[in-house]
Structure 1
Amino acid sequence: MSEPPSQGAKAVFCLCAAEVLTMVGVFAFPTLLPDFVAAWGLSNTDAGWISGILFAGYTVAVPVLTTMTDRVDAKKVYLFGALVAGVSCLAYAVWAEGFWSALTLRFIAGVGLAGTYMPGLKALVDRTRGPSQARWISFYTASFSLGTSGSFLIIGAIAEIWGWKIAFLLAGLAALAAFVLVLTLLERANPVPPAQPVNPFDFGPVFRNRAAMGYVLGYAAHVWELFGARSWMVAFLAWVLAAQPGAGGPSPATAATIGSLLAMASSLIGADLAIRFDRRRVCAAAMLSSAALAAVIGFTGGLPYGIVVALILLYNVLIQIDSAALTTGAVMAAEPDRRGATIAIHSLLGFGAGFVGPLAFGMVLDMAGGGNSSLAWGLAFASMAVVVGLGPLALRLR
């Protein structure tokens, strides 16, 4: 049985649009990282903590919030998450004044993301059925990159004109707009109760599902690299540009925006390839390709700025090929009555790695000589190559 086309399309449009709106504030700090480092006297490790703590907040909250969607309509959880995301950005605009206040408020922003991203996916799964569902899922997960590009573009542009406080204020209002959108447009759905009563917070069956866990562990390796790169690429390009006064090419924030848009297209293409060919092999090939580029890209800072930007854009494409394919694989391999729990573990391990990735990058950067050292940047990027290179091993689980 499949859903009426108009109903499924309406749910997908609503949730994808809301995802983009709630994402405006997610990469606000990485977009303005060089400015905050200078204004607040942060070390690279401090900046790594603030960049990564959002994903720590996500990791703490997502097992509870996403697992709840096996028992209550995911729409209710989503509304809570959008509200938290909006308030956290508004509070950042008013109260952030240094390391500890920024750390606290970005942690709360992570809780908001935990209440929107994967609960939004579960809301979509609950409202779509049939052969089109895998493609709907890929559209939703690929919209994460569209939201990321919007975050880099909007925050960078607004901060340049009116300052970072107004940029965060706008991000908060965007999340509240997503709240209104989902509240008014997304139709109600009742999760189908399992045939046998189960404890929704018993994650043992999820961990014993080897097919699903292969995708979950592969996703963790992927997100370590993805968020590590997205948290530091603007700072890396800013360092390259500072050493080449007058160099032509897009600004670091614009380059990150373009990279995220290319990543969205890459994710959709990767999802389609995974449907047509062996999903695990497609994902493994993407991981090995991005690992190969990550191993060398940090050492290219001495090349002309335009060439470094081109390499960063290619890197964004390679990173994202497997993103939607991994998430769709985990959802499709999950037991039907434990999809919420499986998505929760998928996010817990994935975004847990997303917290550690930016932090580890900053620590390697500091230990290897700091942000003015070509060797340090090279080793920091190479450290991500080591992690994502382990992803294909996880995909061997069946």
Structure 2
Amino acid sequence: MNRLALLCVGRAGACMGTMVFAGALPVLRQDWQMSAATAGSIQTAFNLSNALALLIAAWLADHYGARRVYLVCTWSGAAALACFACFAHSPQTALVGIVLVGLTQGGAYAPALMLAADLSAPQARGRAMGVMLAAGSFGYLLSVFFALWAARSLGPTAGFAVCAAGVLAGAAVGHVSLRGVARAPARAGSTPAALATGTAKSALGPAALCLLVGYVAHCWELLGHYAWTPSLLVAALASSNLGITTTALLVGVAIHVSGMLSTIAFGALSDRGSRSTVLIVVAGAGAMCSLLLGCSMQWHPAWTVSIAAVASFFILGDSGVLSAAISDTVPADKLGRVMGIRSVLGFGAGAVAPITFGTVFDTSHDWQAAYATLAAGGGIAFLAAACLAHFARRSRRRV
């Protein structure tokens, strides 16, 4: 197994803590008597602390190397989730604990993508980042499955503890995979298909701004989807009388397996063609799927599960493409800080999505109205991708 593949295995384990609260939420709302707004506020606190960690870690990665920052964050993330499992027994203690988890685990995101770029050739960067994100999605799947299954079978603490063990194992594998890797080398060149222009651009150019707006809107839709779709699916499947294990597996697979496949597929596709075209198609389809997902509670549960899987395929599908495009666009010595700013803005906006969703749902008691708030993010991402394509065409005409 090569170094990048082994790192992806470790990344999957390290991500098992990211979805632990969202996975257990269907059980926690009943056990802790939480309103949707309260549950959304806890997830928002996690996302905000995640955003802060992303900013700090990305800046540190430019100065001390992505390898060192990644390892510090994964090991400390395992310790933080173990503390969360021990002390989170109410909405109040969970709020404090989830902030600590976000501040530690969140810092591994940008360094992981930087390492993926460093360990791959420029012409394969989209695929490499897609694989890294797919590994994270697999970790999310495990997180949702074990958090929901163990929370229903043994109680929430058991679900948190199982995920903490997974994060610890992921940190150990990541440590082994990065032995001998020095400070991140300079990233040379760009893919011929980058932004459909074939050339790298200034970090402050219009293409970078379009990518920034698109990423912020993408995070709004994605983080809201991750926080609330497990609860939607559990509600839809309640009348089906499925067992705990089957329900947990269906929820995890519907949300994360399709997304895992899409990051690889769309990342590789963007290496061969135009990143902007891929972003237009994926963002537009994701927005439509969010609207359909809100309507699906009126239909058979099989439709709800199927639409959730298709929605995840498109909502997550542009993650690797956006990251590869930023890597193509920004000079190597500025990539860490640009990704940090991008991440804090994206995850900061995305942090508001779960509580916005929950507030709308508390007010309207309507899944369709709540999911419309997420579809708005997909619509903005679509417009940003269209603007990116426009600037790419203007650049070609000048050449």
| TM tier relative to shorter chain | 0.7 to 0.9
Unpaired segments ≥5 residues, structure 2: 188-200, 392-399
Tell me, in whole angstroms, the C-alpha distance in 2 between the residues paired with 1:156 and 1:37. Answer: 12
1:101 is aligned to: 93
TM (norm. structure 2) is: 0.87
- Cα distance in 2 for partners of 1:250, 1:276 equals 40
Given candidates 172, 176, 179, the residue that maps to 1:184 is 176
Report how many residues are paired: 373
- Say yes or no: does 1:387 pair with 2:377: yes
Query: Residues 132 and 280 of structure 1: is their aligned pair in 2 closer, same or farther, counting only changes over 3 Å?
Result: closer
What is the alpha-carbon distance in structure 1 between the residues aligned to residue 174 and residue 237 of structure 2?
Answer: 41
Q: Which residue in the other structure is 2:305 paired with?
A: 309
Match of 1:352 in 2: 348
Aligned to 2:395: none
Q: Which residue of the partner structure matches residue 275 of structure 1?
A: 271
Q: Indicate the RMSD between aligned Cα atoms, in angstroms.
A: 2.3
Give the match for residue 237 of structure 1. Answer: 233
More helix by share: 2
Cα distance change, pair 70–76 in 1 and its aligned pair in 2 (3 A): same
Instruction: Give the superposition deviation at 1:225.
Output: 1.0
SS of the equivalent of 1:115 reads helix
Which residue, 38, 48, 70 being the options, matches 1:46?
Answer: 38
2:144 maps to which of 147, 152, 165: 152
Residues 106 and 158 (structure 1 numbering): CA distance in 2 closer, same or farther, change over 3 Å?
Answer: same
Quick one: structure 1 residues 190 and 359, their matched pair in 2 at CA, closer, same or farther if it must change by over 3 Å? same
Kept in 2, the 8 Å contact 1:271–1:325? The answer is yes
Residue 362 of structure 1 pairs with residue 358 of structure 2:
yes
Structure 1 runs of 4+ off > 6 angstroms? Answer: 247-250
- Give identity over the alignment, percent: 25
Partner residue, 2:397:
none
- Assess if the C-alpha contact under 8 Å between 2:149 and 2:244 holds in 1: no
Q: For the Cα contact (< 8 Å) 1:248–1:305, is it kept in 2?
A: no
Cα deviation digits, residues 273-326 of structure 1 (max 9, x gap): 222222112111111112112123212212121222122122112212212111
1:111, CA displacement in angstroms?
1.5
AA aligned opposite 1:239: A
Match of 2:290 in 1: 294
Which one-letter code corresponds to 2:379 in the other structure?
G
| Alignment counterpart, residue 62 of structure 1, candidates 54, 57, 60 | 54
1:214–1:142 CA distance, 2 compared to 1 (3 A) = farther
Aligned CA distance change for structure 1 residues 247 and 180 (closer, same or farther; 3 Å): closer
Distance 1:129 1:293, change over 3 A: closer
Secondary structure of the residue aligned to 1:123 is: helix
| Residue from 124, 127, 135 that aligns with 1:135 | 127
Could you tell me whether the CA contact under 8 Å between 1:206 and 1:341 is conserved in 2?
A: no
Q: How far 1:238 sits from its partner (Å)?
A: 2.2
The CA distance in 2 between the partners of 1:394 and 1:95, in whole Å, is 42
AA aligned opposite 2:235: W
For 1:126 and 1:272, locate their aligned partners in 2 and report how far apart those are by CA, in whole Å: 17
CA distance in 1, matches of 2:209, 2:371: 26
> Amino acid of the residue matched to residue 267 of structure 1?
T
Deviation digits for residues 81-112 of structure 1, max 9, x if unmatched?
11221122111111112122111111111112
Q: Does 1:258 align with 2:253?
A: yes
CA distance in 2, matches of 1:262, 1:392: 20
Aligned counterparts of 1:11 and 1:98: Cα–Cα separation in 2: 41
Q: Of the candidates 120, 127, 130, which is equivalent to residue 112 of structure 2? A: 120
Q: Quick one: distance in 2 between partners of 1:97 and 1:248?
A: 25
Query: Which amino acid in the other structure matches residue 92 of structure 1?
Result: F
2:319 corresponds, among 311, 317, 323, to: 323
| Residue in structure 1 matched with residue 329 of structure 2 by the alignment | 333
CA displacement 1:310-361 (0-9 Å, x = unmatched): 2212211221221211111111111121111122122112211221111211
Deviation at 1:249, TM superposition (A): 12
Indicate the residue corresponding to 1:71 in structure 2: 63
More deviation, 152-161/227-236: 152-161
Paired letter, 1:383:
T
Gaps of 5+ in 1: 1-8, 195-204, 370-375
Match of 2:105, as an amino acid?
Answer: L
Q: Is the 8 A contact 1:81 1:112 kept in 2?
A: yes
Structure 1 residue 57: Cα displacement: 0.6
Q: Report the CA distance shift for 1:193/1:391 in structure 2 as closer, same or farther (over 3 A).
A: closer
Q: Structure 1 counterpart of 2:59, which letter?
A: T
Residue in structure 2 matched with residue 173 of structure 1 by the alignment: 165
| Equivalent-residue separation in structure 1 for 2:318 and 2:18 (angstroms) | 21
8 Å CA contact 1:84–1:108 kept in 2: the answer is: no
Q: Which AA in structure 1 matches 2:170?
A: A
Please report how far the alpha carbon of residue 380 of structure 1 lies from its aligned counterpart in structure 2 after TM superposition.
Answer: 0.4
Contact 1:86 1:171 (C-alpha < 8 Å) held by counterparts: no
TM-score (norm 1): 0.87
Pair 1:16 & 2:5 matched: no
What is the CA-CA distance between 1:389 and the residue it aligns to? 0.2
